[in-house]
Structure 1
Amino acid sequence: MNMTQARISINGPNDLLTTIPLLLGFKPEHSLVVVGLAARQLQCTFRVDLPGSADHLEHLPDLTGQLSLNECDECVVVAYGEKEVAEASIERAAARLFNAGIPPLDRLRVADGRWFSLTCDKPCCPPEGTPIPETSPASCEVALAGCYAAADRAEVAELLAPAAPGRRAAVERAVAAALAAEADLDWATQRSQDLHAIDHWMSTTALPGPDDIASIGLALGDLDIRDYAIRRICTGQFESNRLDLWTWVTRHMADDLRAPAATVAGFAAYRFGNGVLALEAFDTALKSSPNYRLAQMLRAALQAGYPPASLANIGTAELEAAGREE
């Protein structure tokens, strides 16, 4: 099951709070999280850093536009962190959302493994807080969809960190050999080989060795092949959109060749619903090639809050034509 296809029902704070780390891809700290709902089903999740103190709420980003774009009709506002700044941030965000026509169902603060409700003073929400369980029905459903929570943002970034020097050196040698071999191939033969490589490695659970990493990484440098891979991802047929494959290739390519693979990795993460990993991947692509247009476009769409389902036509029609300008 893909997170873009899943419809997750949230039944109370325990369901919500055990699910948020899985949706974000890491365990939040010093964060404001807004969970958007549509017909009481989970629609989207957005996170921002809390300001440094309650005296600096003007630095708290406004998430009303992102929830409106995702057609949310209600939400829950959650802050992770110290009481004063967390509760002040919750109230600021809740007021903005209420004024935007997306009323908060609840306002929660999380600290030290317990949650505190800012809207309920009944025995079900004691002033000393309620322990957050390890799992819930909703979190199990999200986990079955393939989501997991890293310990922090740094652990997410490590998924795209360069591979060991020896492995990267082996891929660099394979890249040089592949480029030399390609000089003797006609366009149709090369294209057929590249398409076969994409189909083969997307359809297996294995990860390629140096020669095949080089072939895939170089193939993605052709915009037609890159867009073909993106269209295959959009079918939703592949486990976790083969994120493991795309991050694996990204980690092994030389810095100046990483942008295409990193962009495909980011797209796969975005379509799967892992915005944090997607952002890391787009940033990786743009560090390699600052003007790589598709990475720029997708990063902007992600930050604006466009839902993953809206990316179904990426790689075709107008966007495919726009990509030719890179």
Structure 2
Amino acid sequence: MHTTQARIRLNGPTDLLTTVPLLLGFHPEHSLVVVGLLNGELQCTFRVDLPGSADHLEHLPDLTAQLSLNECDGCVVVVYGEAELAQAVAERVASRYHAAGVIPLDLLRVAEGRWFSLTCEKPCCPDEGLVLPETSAASCEVAVAGGYAEADRNAIAAQLAPAPPGRRAAVARAVMAALTADAELDWAAQRDLDLQAIDRWMGAKALPDPEAIAAVGLALGDLDIRDYALRRINSGQFEGNRLDLWIWVARHLEDDLVAPAATVAGFAAYRFGNGVLALEAFELALQSSPHYRLAQMLMAALQAGIPPGALSRIGCGDREEAEVSD
């Protein structure tokens, strides 16, 4: 199950607040998080950095368009930070969302392991806040669906850090050997080998060795093979969309080959519901190949708030539905 497919039942602030880090992929700090709802069910989650102070609210990104794109009719606003800034941010965004027809159902603040209501003045919400539990029934549902939370945003980026030099050098040698061998194959034979490589490693429990990393990395350089991998990801047949495989391959490739693998990794993360990891992967792809079109398109879609389910036809082109389901 993808986190985007899980039916998450939120029965109060603690359910929501313990679930947010799993939805984002890390524990936020100095952040505005908006949880979009449709008919009371969780629809989407967005996070942006807070400005430096309440005097600089004009620098706060507006998420109204993203909420509207996801057809949200309600939301919960959560600000991670100090009290004065949190109050100013919450009031500003609540006014915007209400004007757009997205009703803010609650305004909350989180700081130092405690949570505070910014609207409730009853004894159930004391001024000193309430202890935020580590887990809840809702967070357990998300964890079962594959959600997890790193300590911070840097830990997400570290997942895509280059492999140790020795292993990358071994893959580079394997790439050169594969290119030499491929020169002796005709197009049809090479295509069959590339498709077999994608199928084999998507279905494998282990991660590929240097020779296989080279084979997969080179195969993804062919747009048809890359799109075949995207369709296999969209099939939903593979645990975690084999995100571990795509990250493993991308981490071992040199700059001239990494863009396709990093883009496929980002797509797998996006479809799984991990937008932060997807963004890091797309940035890696564009650092090595600034004009790589699919990475540009997917990054733009992610930043616009397009839901993962809208990507189900990516990689299909003009192919018939029957081919996609094979």
Q: Is TM-score (shorter-chain normalized) higher than 0.5?
A: yes
Q: Name the structure 2 match of 1:62.
A: 62
Q: Deviations over 1:41-92 (max 9, x none)?
A: 1110000000010000000111010011011111000000111112111111
Q: In structure 1, the residue corresponding to 2:35 is in which secondary structure? A: strand
Q: Is residue 216 of structure 1 aligned with residue 191 of structure 2?
A: no
Q: Is residue 173 of structure 1 aligned with residue 193 of structure 2?
A: no
Q: In structure 2, the residue corresponding to 1:278 is in which secondary structure? A: helix
Q: Quote the Cα distance in structure 1 between the aligned partners of 2:9 and 2:41.
A: 5
Q: Is the 8 A contact 1:9 1:40 kept in 2?
A: no
Alignment of 1:1-326 (within 5 A): 1-317=1-317
Moved more, 86-95 or 295-304: 86-95
Q: Deviations over 1:74-128 (max 9, x none)?
A: 1000000111112111111111111110011100000010000011111221111
Q: In structure 1, the residue corresponding to 2:215 is in which secondary structure? A: helix
Q: In structure 1, the residue corresponding to 2:296 is in which secondary structure? A: helix
Letter in structure 1 aligned against 2:246: W
Q: Displacement of 1:318 after TM fit? A: 6.4
Q: Name the structure 1 match of 2:322.
A: none
Q: Quote the Cα distance in structure 2 between the aligned partners of 1:213 and 1:221.
A: 13
Q: Quote the Cα distance in structure 2 between the aligned partners of 1:285 and 1:199.
A: 23
Q: In structure 2, the residue corresponding to 1:317 is in which secondary structure? A: coil
Can you give the 5+ residue segments of structure 2 that lack an aligned partner in the other structure?
320-326
Q: Deviations over 1:199-219 (max 9, x none)?
A: 111112211010000000000
How many residues are matched? 319
Letter in structure 1 aligned against 2:223: L
Q: In structure 1, the residue corresponding to 2:46 is in which secondary structure? A: strand
Letter in structure 2 aligned against 1:95: S
The normalised TM-score by structure 1 is: 0.96
Q: Quote the Cα distance in structure 1 between the aligned partners of 2:100 and 2:204.
A: 46
Letter in structure 2 aligned against 1:10: L
Q: Deviations over 1:141-176 (max 9, x none)?
A: 101111110111110001101000000000000000
Q: Deviations over 1:266-322 (max 9, x none)?
A: 000000000000000000000010000000000000000000000001012269xxx
Q: Quote the Cα distance in structure 2 between the aligned partners of 1:249 and 1:267.
A: 14
- Percentage of pairs with the same residue: 74
Q: Quote the Cα distance in structure 2 between the aligned partners of 1:9 and 1:105.
A: 16
Q: Deviations over 1:213-236 (max 9, x none)?
A: 000000000000000000010011
The normalised TM-score by structure 2 is: 0.96
Q: Displacement of 1:132 after TM fit? A: 0.7
Letter in structure 2 aligned against 1:134: E
Aligned CA-pair RMSD = 1.0
Q: Quote the Cα distance in structure 2 between the aligned partners of 1:60 and 1:250.
A: 33
Letter in structure 2 aligned against 1:317: G
The ranges of structure 1 where at least 4 consecutive aligned residues each deviate by more than 6 angstroms after the TM superposition are none
